[in-house]
């Protein structure tokens, strides 16, 4: 992306787009936010969007579309079977990824469901650099297990390493030897590893891992949902790729895998998903699942309008100016907070800025969900909705005890092309305030705990009256209407 120079000050993150459509926001008064948080059972997933000022829960399905994407929607070809829109989308994906066979699905977890359903047998292992909640739940539901073999450095929150999403090849070899290659359902590499801070994986590492897997006859699967941020980091942090275009890097990565799937709520700036495969025979093996669970083979649960927009979105993903916006805003936010001592996950990755909750509220025991508590406090103190990514997002061990997450984080997602710099500065300001009052934040405990993916819909309550006290301290500094 072109560096825009400034005359009288240091560089600032610069958008290479202008705003054409806006949505009005409101900031509820502080005490009303407390009431809303209680109603939502201290779970930010349960808040109503109208009660939120800065929605930084996720980038999923909330990235801004371009004018070209919106206008493409008008020419969508409505047809149950054989929609021309699907063929345009398929052609674009083939052009970018070099895979001819595209199976559409309604979102990323639908792809995970189908891949797991087809390949995972009870007792199988799936090797991953790191899991994302739904990718793991689908494997364990079928009696498989997940081995997460990210390099140890990937779990070190403060670091300068450029590719913390890399898989550890020594661990991979040891795992294959121990489990036996026949028992490995597939190797799944996740670009832009979601749960460890949107940290990228290098092309070199993907190449080494997939070559090894192929030598052992193990199927290779890429989760490309967060590929757009990963591509930015491949280009800007990987010396051997600095002269390659984003299109060339994308193709080099895609060529390494047998299967690629993605959530188009992330990849392509729209809503939907798809599985791509290289082999016709595999395509035919998987097509029944699409017609059974998703829809006909030329829409797979997606609206044709979304597919038409995505076709443009995939092309926009090949533009460095466009895919830079997320990472440079995240970098700005992470550096600003890190420089004033807030424990951030560094270096900044894709997807969002990540706070190390284990350090931020080090007085809260893991069993009382430090990241869950911090994310609730952040809504109280600023109307900012982040997402817990820690112990609360794990499922309990079979004996009912808590599975303590290896990293305990709050994610402040930066949906692409959505927030302005002043809104970003507001978030930095409120996080700083909260850090100065971190001792006032207390823990949470479950009231209603669903058995699987409990973080989505579970309800909790505060272990004491800390939310009330925190709100009063906030009002003392900012006033009742803030
Ligand atoms: C890397 C990754 N893969 C898969 C998914 C699941 O996608 P979806 O939310 O569309 O089901 C997500 C969602 O956050 C993700 O981040």
Residue with tokens 């994308």: 250
Distance 431 CA to ligand 1 centre (A): 26
| This prediction's pTM | 0.95
Query: For the sheet containing 273-277, what is the strand order?
Result: 101-105, 273-277, 259-263, 220-223, 184-190, 125-128, 145-148
Q: CA 49, 268, 110, 195: dihedral to nearest 10 degrees?
A: -70
Using CA atoms, how far residue 83 sits from 65, 110, 302, 474, in Å, is 22, 21, 12, 54
CA-closest residue to ligand 1 atom 7: 108
Nearest CA to ligand 1 atom 16: 194
- Those residues whose C-beta lies under 8 Å from the C-beta of residue 279, and which sit 6 or more positions away, are 101, 258
Task: Give the Å distance between the CA of 137 and the centre of ligand 1.
Answer: 12
At residue 263, φ and ψ (nearest 5 deg) are: -90, 120
* For ligand 1, atom 8: residue with the closest CA: 108
The Cα 162–Cα 349 span in angstroms is 9
Cβ of 199 below 6 Å from ligand 1:
no
Nearest-CA residue for atom 3 of ligand 1: 225
Look at residue 55 and give its three-state secondary structure.
strand
Q: Report the pLDDT value the prediction gives residue 172, as an integer from 0 to 100.
A: 98
Looking at ligand 1, which atom is closest to the CA of residue 273? 10
pLDDT attached to residue 150: 98
Q: Around Cβ 12, how many Cβ atoms within 10 Å?
A: 10
Instruction: Look at residues 233, 260, 332, 317 and name the one whose alpha carbon lies nearest to residue 65.
Output: 317
Q: Say what the alpha-carbon torsion angle 427, 430, 431, 435 is, to the nearest 10 degrees.
A: 170
Cβ partners under 8 Å of residue 112, min gap 6: 134, 135, 138, 261
* Whether the Cβ atoms of residue 149 and residue 127 lie closer than 8 Å to each other: yes
Torsion of CA 375, 377, 380, 385, to 10 degrees: -10
Closest by alpha carbon to 66, among 272, 241, 321? 321
pLDDT of the residue at 236? 97
Q: Ligand 1, from 132, 138, 189, 415: best to mutate by most atoms within 8 Å of Cβ?
A: 132
Task: Report the distance separating Cα 172 and Cα 356, nearest Å.
Answer: 27
Domains and CATH numbers, the chain: 30-59+320-478 (3.90.1150.10), 67-316 (3.40.640.10)
| Terminal alpha carbon distance of the chain | 37
**pLDDT the model gives residue 287:** 97
Q: Which own/partner contact pairs does 283-290 have at CB distance under 8 Å and 24+ positions apart? A: 283/101, 283/103, 285/118, 286/103, 286/114, 286/118, 287/103, 289/113, 289/114, 289/117, 289/118, 290/103, 290/104, 290/105, 290/114
| Cβ 194 under 6 angstroms from ligand 1 | yes
Q: Tens-digit pLDDT profile for the chain (482 aa)? A: 557 889 998 888 999 999 999 999 999 999 999 999 999 999 999 999 999 999 999 999 999 999 999 999 999 999 999 999 999 999 999 999 999 999 999 999 999 999 999 999 999 999 999 999 899 999 999 999 999 999 999 999 999 999 999 999 999 999 999 999 999 999 999 999 999 999 999 999 999 999 999 999 999 999 999 999 999 999 999 999 999 999 999 999 999 999 999 999 999 999 999 999 999 999 999 999 999 999 999 999 999 999 999 999 999 999 999 999 999 999 999 999 999 999 999 999 999 999 999 999 999 999 999 999 999 999 999 999 999 999 999 989 999 999 999 889 999 999 999 999 999 999 999 999 999 999 999 999 999 999 888 999 999 999 999 999 999 999 999 999 99
Does the beta carbon of 195 lie inside 6 Å of ligand 1?
Answer: no
Nearest C-alpha to atom 4 of ligand 1 is from which residue? 108
Kindly give, in sequence order, each residue whose CB lies less than 8 Å from that of residue 399, ignoring residues fewer than 6 positions away.
none
Closest atom of ligand 1 relative to the 61 alpha carbon: 10
Give the residue among 46, 50, 73 at the shortest CA–CA distance from 270.
73
Q: Whose CA is nearest to atom 9 of ligand 1?
A: 108
């Amino acid at each position: 992306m072109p560096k825009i120079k400034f005359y009288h000050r240091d560089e600032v993150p610069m958008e290479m787009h202008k705003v054409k459509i806006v949505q009005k926001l409101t900031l509820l008064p502080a005490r009303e936010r407390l009431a809303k948080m209680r109603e939502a059972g201290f779970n930010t997933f349960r808040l109503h969007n109208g009660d939120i000022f800065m929605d930084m829960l996720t980038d999923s399905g909330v990235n801004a579309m371009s004018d070209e994407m919106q206008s493409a929607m008008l020419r969508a070809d409505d047809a149950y079977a054989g929609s021309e829109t699907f063929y345009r989308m398929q052609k674009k994906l083939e052009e970018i990824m070099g895979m001819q066979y595209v199976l559409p699905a309604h979102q990323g977890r639908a792809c995970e469901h189908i891949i797991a359903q087809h390949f995972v047998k009870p007792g199988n292992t799936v090797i991953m650099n790191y899991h994302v909640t739904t990718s793991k739940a689908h494997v364990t539901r079928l009696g498989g297990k997940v081995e997460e073999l990210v390099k140890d450095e990937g779990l070190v929150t403060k670091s300068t390493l450029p590719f913390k999403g890399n898989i550890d090849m020594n661990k991979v070899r040891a795992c294959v030897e121990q489990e036996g290659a026949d028992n490995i359902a597939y190797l799944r590499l996740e670009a832009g590893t979601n749960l460890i801070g949107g940290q990228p994986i290098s092309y070199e590492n993907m190449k080494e891992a997939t070559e090894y897997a192929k030598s052992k006859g193990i199927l290779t699967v890429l989760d490309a949902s967060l590929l757009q941020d990963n591509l930015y980091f491949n280009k800007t942090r990987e010396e051997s790729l600095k002269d390659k275009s984003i299109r060339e890097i994308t193709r080099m990565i895609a060529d390494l895998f047998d299967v690629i799937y993605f959530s188009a709520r992330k990849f392509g700036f729209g809503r939907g998903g798809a599985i791509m495969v290289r082999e016709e025979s595999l395509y035919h093996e998987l097509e029944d699942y699409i017609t059974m669970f998703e829809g006909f083979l030329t829409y797979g649960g997606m609206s044709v309008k979304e597919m038409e927009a995505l076709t443009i979105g995939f092309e926009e993903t090949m533009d460095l100016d466009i895919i830079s916006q997320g990472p440079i805003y995240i970098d700005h936010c992470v550096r600003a907070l890190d420089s004033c001592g807030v424990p951030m996950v560094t270096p900044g990755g894709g997807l969002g800025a990540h706070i190390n909750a284990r350090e931020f509220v080090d007085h809260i025991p893991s069993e009382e969900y430090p990241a869950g508590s911090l994310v609730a406090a952040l809504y109280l103190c600023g109307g900012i909705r982040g997402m817990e990514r820690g112990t609360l997002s794990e499922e309990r061990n079979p004996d009912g005890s808590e599975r303590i997450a290896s990293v305990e984080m709050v994610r402040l997602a930066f949906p692409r092309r959505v927030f302005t710099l002043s809104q970003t500065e507001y978030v930095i300001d409120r996080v700083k305030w909260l850090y100065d009052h971190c001792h006032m934040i207390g823990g949470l405990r479950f009231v209603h705990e669903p058995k699987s993916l409990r973080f989505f819909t579970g309800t909790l309550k505060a272990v004491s009256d800390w939310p009330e006290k925190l709100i009063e301290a906030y009002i003392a500094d900012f006033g009742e209407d803030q």
